[in-house]
Amino acid sequence: MLVLITYDVNTETAAGKKRLRKVAKQCVNYGRRVQNSVFECILDNAQCVLLKSILADIIDKEVDSLRFYYLGNKYQTKVESIGVERGQPVDGALIL
């Protein structure tokens, strides 16, 4: 399923900047960045539970926030993009 993950991490402190880098790094491991704090991730249920747990452990719940949007398996009809696309499609083939 396609999961859209957005986050807002308070970066007023050095610890906040470190949390921001950690959240972004974990999201990159599971999907592609489409905006500065927005990632599209193709995940199965187990991966989704794991990633949510990892991210929840990183953030400071008093000042940071995470949002997960579950677009399902038929997400192609639910996503529209205008303007520059960043990187490869999340479900596209990657040739190394």
**How far is Cα of residue 38 from the mean position of the Cα atoms in its chain?**
5
Q: Is 8 annotated as a binding residue?
A: yes
- The DSSP code sequence of 5-36 is EEEE---SSHHHHHHHHHHHHHHHHHEEEEET
Q: Which residues are annotated as a binding site for Mg(2+)?
A: 8
Q: Which residues are annotated as a binding site?
A: 8
